[in-house]
Structure 1
Amino acid sequence: MPSYPTELSDDAAPANRLRQQEEAIHDLTQQLSERTAEVGMLRMLLADEAQHQSQETHLLRIFRYTSVAIGILKGPEFVVELANPAMCALWARPEAELLGRPIFSVLPEAAKQGFEELLAQVMQTGIPFIGTEMPVVLQREGNLGTVYFDLVYEPFPDADGRINRVIVTATDVTSRLKTRDQSDKLLAQERELHELKSNFVTMASHEFRTPMGTILSSASLIGRYNGADDGEKRERHVQRIKAAVHGLTDLLNDFLSLGQMEQETMHGQPQPLELQTFCAEILDDMQGMVKIGQHFVYQHLAGALTVSIDGSMLRNILVNLLVNASKYSSEGKSIELTTAVQDNLLVVTVRDEGIGIPDADKDKLFINFFRARNAIHVQGTGLGLYIVKRYVDLLGGTISFTSQLDSGTIFTVQLPIYPFVA
Structure 2
Amino acid sequence: MNQVEEPQGLSQDINALVQRMPIEVMQRMPDIDAVLDYLLSCISEVVVSDVITISLLDGDKVRNFRSYYPNDLSYLQANDIFNVDEYVALKQAYTTHQPVLTADTHNDPDWIIDDRTQWIRSHIAIPMFTQDAFFGFIFLQGMTPNQFSDQDVRRIQPLVAQTSLAVHLATIYRQQEQTTSELEALYNATSVLLTTDNVRMLGGQIAEAVVKEFAHVDCGVILVDLYSPQLERLPRAGIEGLSTAEPLYLDGPGLVPSAIRSGITTYAPDVSQDTRYVANVPEAKSELVIPLRTNNNIIGVLDLQSTQTHSFSPNDVRVLEAFAQRAAVAIENARLYEEIRTFATDQEQLLAERTLELREAKEQVETILNYSSDGVAFTTQDGHIIRTNTAFEKIFGPLTRTDENLSIVELIDIDPQQSNDCAAALVRVASGVSQSERLIATTINRDTNPTYIDTTLAAVRNSRDHVSGIVFTIRDISDLKKMEEGLRDALAHEMELNQLKSQFIAVVSHEFRTPLATILSAKDGLERYYERMNDQQRARNFNQIDSNVTRMTEMLNDLLSLTLDETPHKQKDRSHIDLSAVFRSAYEDLLASIGTGYDITFDITGKVQNVRCDITQMQHIFINLVENAIKYSSESKVVRVTLDYQEDQWQLTVSDTGIGIPEADQSHIFDPFIRGANVGNKRGTGLGLSIVERAVRHHDGNIEFSSIQNKGTTFIVTIPYSVNQLDHSASGPL
Task: Encode CA deviations 1:234-282: one digit per residue, 9 max, x unaligned.
Answer: 6655554443233212221333344x37xxx536877555320231343
Would you say the 8 A contact 2:412–2:442 is kept in 1? no
Looking at structure 2, the residues matched to 352 and 240 of structure 1 have their Cα atoms a distance apart, in angstroms, of 31
Residue type at the aligned position of 2:365: L
Correspondence list, 1:219-230, <5 A:
230=535
Determine helix, strand or coil for the equivalent of 2:705: strand
Matched, 1:319 2:623: yes
User: In the alignment, is residue 89 of structure 1 matched against residue 89 of structure 2?
Assistant: no
2:397 & 2:625 partners in 1: Cα distance? 54
SS at match of 1:67: coil
Query: Under a length normalisation based on structure 1, what TM-score does the superposition of the two structures give?
Result: 0.67
Shift of 1:411: 3.0
String of CA shifts for 1:305-333, please: whole Å, max 9, x gaps: 44566655443333322333344469996
Secondary structure of the corresponding residue to residue 300 of structure 1: strand
Over residues 35-67 of structure 1, what are the superposed CA-to-partner deviations in whole Å (9 max), with x where a residue is unaligned?
xxxxxxxxxxxx999988755543332223222
**Counterpart-to-counterpart distance in 1, 2:636 and 2:515:** 23
The match for 1:276 is 580
78, 83, 95: which one aligns with 2:384: 78
**Distance in 2 separating the partners of 1:341 and 1:412:** 17
Q: 1:10-49 to 2 correspondence within 5 Å?
A: none
User: In structure 1, what is the Cα distance between the partners aligned to 2:456 and 2:615?
Assistant: 57
Q: Give SS of 1:278's match.
A: helix
Structure 1: which 5+ runs fail to align? 1-46
Give the structure 1 partner of residue 140 of structure 2: none
Greater CA drift, 330-339 or 195-204: 330-339
Distance 1:60 1:379, change over 3 A: closer
CA gap 1:91/1:209 in 2 versus in 1, 3 angstroms: closer
Paired residue for 2:115? none
Correspondences of 1:1-400 after superposition (within 5 Å): 55-76=361-382, 78-80=384-386, 82-93=387-398, 97=400, 101-104=404-407, 115=422, 118-125=425-432, 127=434, 128-132=436-440, 134-140=441-447, 144-218=448-522, 230=535, 239-258=543-562, 260=563, 266=566, 274-283=578-587, 286=590, 290-293=593-596, 297-302=601-606, 305-307=609-611, 312-328=616-632, 335-342=639-646, 344=648, 346-352=650-656, 356-357=659-660, 363=666, 366=669, 368-372=672-676, 375-389=679-693, 395=700, 397-400=702-705
- Match of residue 413, structure 1, among 713, 716, 721: 716
3-state SS, counterpart of residue 139 of structure 1: coil
Query: What secondary structure does 2:480 align onto?
Result: helix
Residues 211 and 248 in structure 1, CA contact (< 8 A), matched pair in contact too:
yes
Q: Distance in 1 between matches of 2:708 and 2:611?
A: 29
Could you tell me how far apart the structure 1 residues matched to 2:611 and 2:368 are? 64
Cα pair 1:365 1:385 within 8 Å, conserved: no
Q: Deviations over 1:171-225 (max 9, x none)?
A: 2222222232223222221221122122212321222122223334556767989
C-alpha displacement of 1:353? 6.4
Question: CA separation in 1, counterparts of 2:561 and 2:633?
Answer: 25
Q: Indicate how the Cα distance of structure 1 residues 306 and 410 shifts in structure 2: closer, same or farther if over 3 A, else same.
A: farther
Offset of 1:375 from its aligned partner?
A: 3.6
- SS class of match (2:463): coil
The structure with the larger Rg is: 2
Secondary structure of 2:449's counterpart equals: strand
Residue 391 (structure 1) shift = 5.2
Secondary structure at the counterpart of residue 76 of structure 1: coil
Counterpart code for 1:415: T
User: Shift in Å at residue 159 of structure 1?
Assistant: 1.8
What percentage of residue pairs aligned between the two structures are identical?
23
1:3 aligns with: none
Relative to structure 1, the CA distance from residue 115 to residue 358 in structure 2 (aligned partners, 3 Å threshold; closer, same or farther) is closer
Change (3 A) 1:243 1:78: same
- Name the aligned partner's letter for residue 381 of structure 1: T
The answer to whether the 8 A contact 1:251-1:381 is kept is yes
Contact 2:662–2:676 (8 Å) recurs in 1 = no
Distance 1:380 1:198 in 2: 17
After superposition, what is the alpha-carbon deviation per residue over 1:96-115, rounded to whole angstroms, capped at 9, x for unaligned? x479933349x987775565
Mapped partners of 1:62, 1:403: distance in 2: 65
Structure 2: distance between partners of 1:158 and 1:99: 29
Letter matched to residue 411 of structure 1? T
Tell me if the contact between 1:307 and 1:417 (Cα under 8 Å) persists in the aligned partners: no
Structure 1 residues 209 and 180 mapped into 2: Cα distance closer, same or farther (>3 Å)?
A: same
Read off the aligned partner of 1:208 and give its amino acid letter: F
Asked whether the equivalents of residues 308 and 417 of structure 1 are also in contact (C-alpha less than 8 Å), the reply is no
Contact 1:292 1:332 in 2 (8 A): no
| Cα deviation 1:336-356 (Å, max 9, x = unaligned) | 4322245755432334566x2
* More off after superposition, 109-118 vs 60-69: 109-118
Give the count of matched residue pairs. 359
> How far apart, in 2, do the equivalents of 1:310 and 1:346 lie?
15
Q: Higher relative contact order by CA 8 Å / sep ≥ 6: 1 or 2?
A: 1
Following TM superposition, by how much is the alpha carbon of 1:165 offset from its aligned partner in structure 2, in angstroms?
0.9
SS in 2 for 1:155: strand
Contact preservation (8 Å) 1:291, 1:332? no
Q: Is the contact between residue 70 and residue 170 of structure 1 (CA under 8 Å) also seen in structure 2?
A: yes
Q: After TM superposition, give the deviation of residue 167 of structure 1 in Å.
A: 0.7
Contact 2:383 2:470 in 1 (8 A): no
- Give the residue type in structure 2 aligned to 1:135: T
Q: Shift of the alpha carbon at 1:412? A: 1.3
Provide the rounded CA distance (Å) in 1 between the counterparts of 2:374 and 2:668. Answer: 52
Contact residue 580 and residue 608 of structure 2 kept, 8 A: no
Q: Which amino acid aligns with 1:398?
A: I
**Separation in 1, partners of 2:446, 2:623:** 51
Give the residue type in structure 1 aligned to 2:491. Answer: L
TM-score by length of 2: 0.41
1:159 aligned counterpart, secondary structure: coil
Looking at structure 2, the residues matched to 98 and 131 of structure 1 have their Cα atoms a distance apart, in angstroms, of: 28
Structure with the larger helix share: 1
Which residue is equivalent to 2:104?
none
Change (3 A) 1:72 1:181: same
Q: Distance in 2 between matches of 1:320 and 1:175?
A: 44
- Structure 2 unpaired stretches of 5+: 1-352, 416-420, 728-734
